């Protein structure tokens, strides 16, 4: 294994807790939760683990600016802005869409954390990011491009070592269930499972991608991540477990299923999920439990990837309101 430079600012290890009341209500397998919503960086989330490696790489390259892109309510952008502030770097966020009438939630926090926002049209967001990068470079601001969702081999290392952390916590689980989107979390988890001998099945619930495309993407990123760490194994699409049955509504579009999951976790466990990612993944997990896909004598670890500030986004208010 090659040693990859890393900073240590996340609050680790994150806790593993039992979701006993949820499990009893669903009358299915044991359910646990890994609290990566509590990674400590400006409300935390899964991007914090990735940023420990990404910011270390940026510093090693002499960067003075972090530049990245995402949706208006991007958790990734919020955590990147916080990491930049923490290490005295500038931050430029290229956001797809238009400035909302009223800043709220992640978008508000990213600005509070000092990020400069550049607006892009959805269709030309990749070009806009490239343009903003070149402009920062020409201005002598030495930008480091943090990939979408922090999902490069460097960023995915955060979740390789999250598996090592889980094993040091002596947690056994037959299934690990979590939201999968830009694939860095998923890729890191499967590489970590292979490297450290974790036996549970790693099942990503797709947020916005069909099953085959996400499998191909995660397999490639996982293979690249393994190579980055000096390991000689690779992954094929069929090595990657993806369930894409819950993403039909599209990215960030709430349906009854997400809302039900959010209310079940809140009312049975006092646990907050986010509307875009963990709400959807939990809805998937709940449905799979109800349909008996997991055996009753198995255990399921739900990996909470954060995102809870989006509960306060103006955009989702009409969906998530007390009935
Ligand atoms: C980004 C994000 C994800 C998806 O993680 P990827 O590594 O991009 O697949 C899941 N949950 C939350 C809350 C996120 O912000």
Tens-binned pLDDT, residue by residue, of the chain (323 aa): 899 999 999 999 999 999 999 999 999 999 999 999 999 999 999 999 999 999 999 999 999 999 999 999 999 999 999 999 999 999 999 999 999 999 999 999 999 999 999 999 999 999 999 999 999 999 999 999 999 999 999 999 999 999 999 999 999 999 999 999 999 999 999 999 999 999 999 999 999 999 999 999 999 999 999 999 999 999 999 999 999 999 999 999 999 999 999 999 999 999 999 999 999 999 999 999 999 999 999 999 999 999 999 999 998 988 887 65
pLDDT confidence of residue 74? 98
pLDDT at 59: 98
**Helix ranges (DSSP H) in 1-123:** 20-26, 47-60, 75-86, 105-112
| Beta pairing, strands 143-145 & 116-120 | unpaired
* Rounded CA separation 57/60 (Å): 5
Element (H, E) at 284: helix 278-290
Atom of ligand 1 at shortest range from CA of 307 = 13
- Mark 246-255 as b/e (b = at least 16 C-beta within 10 Å): bbeeeebebe
- Whether 74 is catalytic is yes
Mutation test of ligand 1: which of 37, 38, 46 has the most ligand atoms closer than 8 Å to its C-beta? Answer: 46
Task: Give the pLDDT of residue 323.
Answer: 59
Number of neighbouring beta carbons within 10 Å of residue 171: 16
Atom number in ligand 1 closest to CA 156: 7
According to the model, what pLDDT value does residue 205 have? 98
CA of 186 to the centre of ligand 1 (A): 9
Query: Distance, CA 139 to ligand 1 centroid (Å)?
Result: 32
> pTM to 2 decimals?
0.98
């Amino acid at each position: 294994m090659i040693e990859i430079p890393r900073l240590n600012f996340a609050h680790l290890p994150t806790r593993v807790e039992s979701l006993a009341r949820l499990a009893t209500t669903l009358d299915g397998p044991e359910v646990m939760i890994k609290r990566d919503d509590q990674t400590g960086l400006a409300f935390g989330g899964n991007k914090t683990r990735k940023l420990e490696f990404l910011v270390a790489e940026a510093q090693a390259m002499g960067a003075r600016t972090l530049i990245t892109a995402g949706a208006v309510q991007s958790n990734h952008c919020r955590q990147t802005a916080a990491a930049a502030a923490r290490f005295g770097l500038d931050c430029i966020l290229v956001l797809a869409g238009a400035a909302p009438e009223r800043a709220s939630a992640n978008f508000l926090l990213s600005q509070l954390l000092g990020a400069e926002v550049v607006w892009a049209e959805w269709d030309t967001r990749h070009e806009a990011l490239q343009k903003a990068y070149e402009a920062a470079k020409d201005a002598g601001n030495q930008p480091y491009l943090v990939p979408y969702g922090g999902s490069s081999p460097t960023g995915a290392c955060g979740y390789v070592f999250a598996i090592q952390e889980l094993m040091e916590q002596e947690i056994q689980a037959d299934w690990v269930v979590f939201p999968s989107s830009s694939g860095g979390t998923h890729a890191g988890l499967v590489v970590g499972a292979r490297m450290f001998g974790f036996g549970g099945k790693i099942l990503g619930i797709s947020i916005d991608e069909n099953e085959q495309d996400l499998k191909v993407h995660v397999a490639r990123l996982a293979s690249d991540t393994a190579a980055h760490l000096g390991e000689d194994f690779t992954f094929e699409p069929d090595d990657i477990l993806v369930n894409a049955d819950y993403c039909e509504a599209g990215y960030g579009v709430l349906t009854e299923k997400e809302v039900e999951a959010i209310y079940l976790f809140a009312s049975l466990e006092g646990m907050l999920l986010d509307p875009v990612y963990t709400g959807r993944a939990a809805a998937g997990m709940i449905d799979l439990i109800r349909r008996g896909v997991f055996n009753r004598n198995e255990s399921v670890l739900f990996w909470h990837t954060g995102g809870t500030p989006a509960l306060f986004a103006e955009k989702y208010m009409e969906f998530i309101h007390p009935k």
